[in-house]
Amino acid sequence: MQSNWSVGIDVSKQEVMVACHDGSFAPRKVVNQRAELTTWLKSLPAGTRLGVEATGSYHELVAELAEGMGLVVYVLNPRDISHYAKSLGQRGKTDRLDAEVIARYIDKEAVDLHRFVPLTPDEKLLRGLSRRRATLAKAKAMLQQSLAGLPALAVEAKALLKQLNALIDAIEQRMMEVVARSAERQALVEQLQTIDGVGPLNGIHLATLFTRVPLPRSDAAVAFYGMDPRPKDSGQLHGRRRLSKRGPAEGRRLLFNAAKSAINTPTWKPYYQSLCKKGLSGTEAIVIIARRILRIAFAMFKNHTTFDKSKVPKPLT
């Protein structure tokens, strides 16, 4: 018999707080370890829906165990849960209250949520390497800016930055080695790199997304990356549109950099210049091109094609 239980899970490193929306069991804590979580999950009836916030890596064990047992799992954006709690007038914040809010959210909103799809070992490794590379790239930029004002330490600064570059290069090499384990993934990465402006990192990020998440159309890919314009209109007021920025920040950064590179190529430069002539700022024009690159990449994945330059928009007149 299928259950209608909606269970919220508030995760920390050491333990998880669990609560059921209809009160089928009292809120309680479970140790965030495989054995204890497995025992608790086995006590849930088939068809139970579980919601857990994305919290770095602490949520992954319970989400993967539950999904492996055939339970329905949703990994949620913490910002969404925070806004939902405020909309309910919640005045406090405890682990129990958070778990109860998540359970209520799952019970009311599950029809519009996407079920959790676990990463394969290689996908998890690629994600970890990508995150660490992004951290190093940010650290490098901060150090360059900070050390620029200390000419007396120029030699030491140069040596440090050289080491950081070597470590970044090593991570990128490791990522390519992981990609090469799958002929299908490697072919897709190479296929996506035929787009002017798209390099190996973007190719890996896009290939992992397209093969893992069942996106029905390019609009969904744009929304997943948080590159969809968010309207802000009311009555006669038409506010300035901004990106929703709901998706992976690193993915947006990589796409933006791809577009920055693309506008220097004969393929994209005329379109970029025409956007700027229409009054758009350079950043706005680059975002538009990044979004177009994403749509083209998605179409190439769906249709198993290489880059067709005729798909690049003509310069605006």
The CATH topology of domain 6-112 is Nucleotidyltransferase; domain 5 (3.30.420)
- Tell me how far apart the alpha carbons of residues 234 and 239 are, in angstroms, rounded to a whole number: 8
Beta bridge partners of 237: 234
Token digits of residue 284: 């706005």
Q: How far apart are CA 316 and CA 292, in angstroms?
A: 15
pLDDT of 242 reads: 85
Q: What is the mean pLDDT of residues 277-293?
A: 95
Do 83 and 108 meet the contact criterion of CB atoms below 8 Å apart?
no
One-letter-per-residue 3-state SS of the chain: CCCCCEEEEEECCCEEEEEECCCCCCCEEEECCHHHHHHHHHCCCCCCEEEEECCCCCCHHHHHHHHHCCCEEEEECHHHHHHHHHHCCCCCCCHHHHHHHHHHHHHHHHHHCCCCCCCCHHHHHHHHHHHHHHHHHHHHHHHHHHHCCCHHHHHHHHHHHHHHHHHHHHHHHHHHHHHCCCHHHHHHHHHHCCCCCCCHHHHHHHHHHHHHCCCCCHHHHHHHCCCCEECCEECCEECCCEECCCCCHHHHHHHHHHHHHHCCCCCCHHHHHHHHHCCCCHHHHHHHHHHHHHHHHHHHHHHCCCCCHHHCCCCCC
Q: Return the pLDDT at 199.
A: 94
- State yes or no: pLDDT of 232 exceeds 60: yes
Mean pLDDT of 141-155: 88
- The pLDDT value recorded for residue 50 is 97
Which range, 118-122, 212-216, 264-268, has the best average confidence (pLDDT)? 264-268
Residues whose CB is less than 8 angstroms from the CB of residue 311 and which lie 6 or more positions away in sequence, other chains included: 296, 299
pLDDT at 182 over 60: yes
- pLDDT over threshold 70, residue 145: yes
Give 44's pLDDT tier (boundaries 50, 70, 90).
very high
Buried b (16+ CB within 10 A) or exposed e, 195-213: bbbbeebbbbbbbbbbeee
Please report, for the chain, the start and end positions of each structural domain, with discontinuous segments joined by +: 6-112, 120-181, 183-317
- Min mean pLDDT across 1-15, 132-146, 273-287 is at 1-15
Q: 273 with 315: CB under 8 angstroms?
A: yes
